[in-house]
Protein backbone atom coordinates (compact mmCIF):
# COMPACT_ATOMS: atom_id res chain seq x y z
CA UNK A 1 0.00 0.00 0.00
CA UNK A 2 2.86 2.36 0.77
CA UNK A 3 4.40 1.60 -2.61
CA UNK A 4 1.07 2.38 -4.36
CA UNK A 5 0.71 5.64 -2.44
CA UNK A 6 4.29 6.58 -3.28
CA UNK A 7 3.71 5.87 -7.00
CA UNK A 8 0.46 7.85 -6.93
CA UNK A 9 2.20 10.76 -5.22
CA UNK A 10 5.00 10.63 -7.81
CA UNK A 11 2.48 10.57 -10.67
CA UNK A 12 0.62 13.51 -9.14
CA UNK A 13 3.88 15.45 -8.72
CA UNK A 14 4.86 14.76 -12.34
CA UNK A 15 1.42 15.91 -13.54
CA UNK A 16 1.69 19.07 -11.46
CA UNK A 17 5.17 19.77 -12.83
CA UNK A 18 3.96 19.21 -16.40
CA UNK A 19 1.11 21.64 -15.76
CA UNK A 20 3.56 24.22 -14.41
CA UNK A 21 5.74 23.80 -17.50
CA UNK A 22 2.74 24.39 -19.76
CA UNK A 23 1.79 27.48 -17.74
CA UNK A 24 5.30 28.87 -18.17
CA UNK A 25 5.22 28.17 -21.90
CA UNK A 26 1.86 29.92 -22.22
CA UNK A 27 2.20 33.16 -20.24
CA UNK A 28 -0.84 35.30 -19.57
CA UNK A 29 -1.04 38.61 -21.42
CA UNK A 30 -4.13 40.77 -21.14
CA UNK A 31 -5.97 38.01 -19.29
CA UNK A 32 -5.39 35.40 -22.01
CA UNK A 33 -2.90 32.59 -22.36
CA UNK A 34 -0.41 33.14 -25.16
CA UNK A 35 0.23 29.88 -26.96
CA UNK A 36 3.66 29.23 -28.47
CA UNK A 37 2.04 27.26 -31.30
CA UNK A 38 -0.09 30.23 -32.47
CA UNK A 39 0.99 33.23 -34.54
CA UNK A 40 1.46 36.74 -33.25
CA UNK A 41 -1.96 37.82 -34.54
CA UNK A 42 -3.75 34.66 -33.34
CA UNK A 43 -2.53 35.38 -29.81
CA UNK A 44 -2.83 39.17 -29.83
CA UNK A 45 -6.54 39.10 -30.68
CA UNK A 46 -7.17 37.35 -27.34
CA UNK A 47 -5.31 39.90 -25.20
CA UNK A 48 -7.62 42.43 -23.57
CA UNK A 49 -4.57 44.71 -23.23
CA UNK A 50 -3.93 44.86 -26.99
CA UNK A 51 -7.31 45.71 -28.54
CA UNK A 52 -6.07 49.01 -29.98
CA UNK A 53 -2.95 47.37 -31.40
CA UNK A 54 -5.04 44.66 -33.07
CA UNK A 55 -7.39 47.29 -34.53
CA UNK A 56 -4.39 49.24 -35.82
CA UNK A 57 -2.82 46.12 -37.37
CA UNK A 58 -6.15 45.45 -39.12
CA UNK A 59 -6.46 49.08 -40.30
CA UNK A 60 -2.92 48.95 -41.72
CA UNK A 61 -3.58 45.61 -43.48
CA UNK A 62 -0.70 43.94 -41.61
CA UNK A 63 -2.64 40.87 -40.42
CA UNK A 64 -1.38 38.60 -43.21
CA UNK A 65 2.20 39.77 -42.70
CA UNK A 66 2.16 39.12 -38.95
CA UNK A 67 0.46 35.77 -39.53
CA UNK A 68 3.21 34.72 -41.96
CA UNK A 69 6.18 32.52 -41.16
CA UNK A 70 8.48 35.27 -39.86
CA UNK A 71 10.38 35.19 -37.63
CA UNK A 72 9.32 38.49 -36.10
CA UNK A 73 10.00 40.24 -32.84
CA UNK A 74 7.10 42.56 -32.05
CA UNK A 75 7.36 45.23 -29.39
CA UNK A 76 3.63 45.34 -28.62
CA UNK A 77 2.24 48.53 -27.04
CA UNK A 78 -0.66 48.03 -24.67
CA UNK A 79 -3.97 49.86 -24.83
CA UNK A 80 -2.67 52.03 -21.97
CA UNK A 81 0.29 52.97 -24.20
CA UNK A 82 -2.10 54.00 -26.98
CA UNK A 83 -4.15 55.94 -24.39
CA UNK A 84 -1.17 58.32 -24.08
CA UNK A 85 -2.02 59.51 -27.61
CA UNK A 86 -4.78 62.13 -27.82
CA UNK A 87 -8.11 60.59 -28.91
CA UNK A 88 -8.44 62.81 -31.98
CA UNK A 89 -4.85 62.04 -33.06
CA UNK A 90 -5.42 58.30 -32.66
CA UNK A 91 -8.71 58.46 -34.57
CA UNK A 92 -7.00 60.38 -37.39
CA UNK A 93 -4.19 57.81 -37.47
CA UNK A 94 -6.67 54.93 -37.76
CA UNK A 95 -8.51 56.59 -40.68
CA UNK A 96 -8.05 55.00 -44.14
CA UNK A 97 -6.28 58.10 -45.50
CA UNK A 98 -3.56 57.72 -42.82
CA UNK A 99 -2.86 54.06 -43.63
CA UNK A 100 0.72 54.73 -44.83
CA UNK A 101 1.59 56.65 -41.66
CA UNK A 102 -0.03 53.99 -39.45
CA UNK A 103 1.86 51.24 -41.28
CA UNK A 104 5.14 53.09 -40.77
CA UNK A 105 4.47 53.47 -37.03
CA UNK A 106 3.46 49.83 -36.57
CA UNK A 107 6.37 48.42 -38.56
CA UNK A 108 8.72 50.48 -36.39
CA UNK A 109 7.68 48.03 -33.65
CA UNK A 110 8.72 44.96 -35.67
CA UNK A 111 12.14 43.38 -36.11
CA UNK A 112 12.73 40.67 -38.73
CA UNK A 113 14.29 38.23 -36.24
CA UNK A 114 13.37 36.13 -33.23
CA UNK A 115 15.07 38.20 -30.51
CA UNK A 116 14.56 36.90 -26.99
CA UNK A 117 15.33 39.25 -24.09
CA UNK A 118 18.52 37.47 -23.05
CA UNK A 119 19.90 37.90 -26.59
CA UNK A 120 18.93 41.59 -26.60
CA UNK A 121 20.53 42.09 -23.16
CA UNK A 122 23.68 40.37 -24.44
CA UNK A 123 23.87 42.67 -27.47
CA UNK A 124 23.38 45.69 -25.20
CA UNK A 125 26.24 44.52 -22.98
CA UNK A 126 28.47 43.73 -25.97
CA UNK A 127 27.87 47.24 -27.34
CA UNK A 128 28.77 48.99 -24.09
CA UNK A 129 25.26 49.66 -22.79
CA UNK A 130 23.32 50.69 -25.93
CA UNK A 131 22.42 48.55 -28.95
CA UNK A 132 20.84 49.80 -32.21
CA UNK A 133 17.76 47.83 -33.26
CA UNK A 134 16.82 48.28 -36.94
CA UNK A 135 13.12 47.68 -37.58
CA UNK A 136 11.12 46.49 -40.57
CA UNK A 137 9.70 50.02 -40.86
CA UNK A 138 13.14 51.58 -41.35
CA UNK A 139 13.37 53.05 -37.86
CA UNK A 140 16.32 52.39 -35.60
CA UNK A 141 15.46 51.95 -31.95
CA UNK A 142 18.15 52.13 -29.27
CA UNK A 143 17.99 49.35 -26.66
CA UNK A 144 19.46 49.75 -23.19
CA UNK A 145 19.05 48.18 -19.78
CA UNK A 146 17.52 50.00 -16.81
CA UNK A 147 18.02 47.60 -13.92
CA UNK A 148 16.73 44.27 -15.22
CA UNK A 149 14.34 45.84 -17.78
CA UNK A 150 14.97 46.46 -21.46
CA UNK A 151 14.16 50.03 -22.49
CA UNK A 152 13.75 51.05 -26.13
CA UNK A 153 14.27 54.64 -27.25
CA UNK A 154 12.67 55.73 -30.51
CA UNK A 155 14.11 58.24 -32.97
CA UNK A 156 12.42 61.08 -31.05
CA UNK A 157 14.03 60.23 -27.72
CA UNK A 158 10.88 58.65 -26.25
CA UNK A 159 11.38 55.59 -24.02
CA UNK A 160 9.28 52.43 -23.86
CA UNK A 161 9.94 49.78 -21.22
CA UNK A 162 9.46 46.08 -21.87
CA UNK A 163 6.93 45.07 -19.20
CA UNK A 164 6.45 41.44 -20.29
CA UNK A 165 9.31 39.81 -22.17
CA UNK A 166 9.71 36.64 -24.19
CA UNK A 167 6.13 35.75 -25.09
CA UNK A 168 6.91 33.00 -27.61
CA UNK A 169 4.84 32.69 -30.78
CA UNK A 170 4.97 30.17 -33.62
CA UNK A 171 6.41 32.90 -35.87
CA UNK A 172 8.53 34.85 -33.39
CA UNK A 173 8.22 36.58 -30.05
CA UNK A 174 6.27 39.42 -28.47
CA UNK A 175 7.68 41.82 -25.90
CA UNK A 176 4.92 43.93 -24.32
CA UNK A 177 5.85 47.63 -24.01
CA UNK A 178 4.32 50.59 -22.19
CA UNK A 179 4.59 53.26 -24.92
CA UNK A 180 3.96 53.62 -28.63
CA UNK A 181 7.24 54.20 -30.48
CA UNK A 182 7.31 56.68 -33.34
CA UNK A 183 9.51 57.19 -36.39
CA UNK A 184 11.56 60.40 -36.62
CA UNK A 185 9.24 63.43 -36.76
72 has pLDDT over 90:
yes
Q: List the single range of 27-31, 51-55, 103-107 with lowest mean pLDDT.
A: 27-31
Number of structural domains found in the chain: 1
Does 183 reside within a domain? Answer: no
Q: What pTM value is reported for the model?
A: 0.84
Contact 49, 30 (CB under 8 A): yes
Does 85 reside within a domain? Answer: yes
H-state helical runs in the chain: 2-25, 40-44, 51-59, 63-67, 79-82, 87-94, 99-107, 117-126
Specify the CATH number for the domain of residue 147. 2.30.180.10
Q: CA nearest 107: which of 151, 75, 143?
A: 75
Does 184 reside within a domain? Answer: no
Rg (the chain; Cα; Å): 19
132 has pLDDT over 50:
yes
- Burial label for 174, CB within 10 Å (0-12, 13-18, 19+), is buried
Does 182 reside within a domain? Answer: no
Q: Which domain holds residue 122?
A: 2-177
10 has pLDDT over 60:
no
Does 44 reside within a domain? Answer: yes
pLDDT-based confidence at residue 58 (cuts at 50, 70, 90): very high
Does 142 reside within a domain? Answer: yes
120 has pLDDT over 60:
yes
Does 70 reside within a domain? Answer: yes
Share of the chain above pLDDT 70, in %: 85
Amino acid sequence: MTKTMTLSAAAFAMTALAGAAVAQDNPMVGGAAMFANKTIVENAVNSADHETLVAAVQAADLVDTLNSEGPFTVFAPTDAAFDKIADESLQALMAPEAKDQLTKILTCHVVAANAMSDAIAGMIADDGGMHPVPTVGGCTLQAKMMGDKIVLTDENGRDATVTIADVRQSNGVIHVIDRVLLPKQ
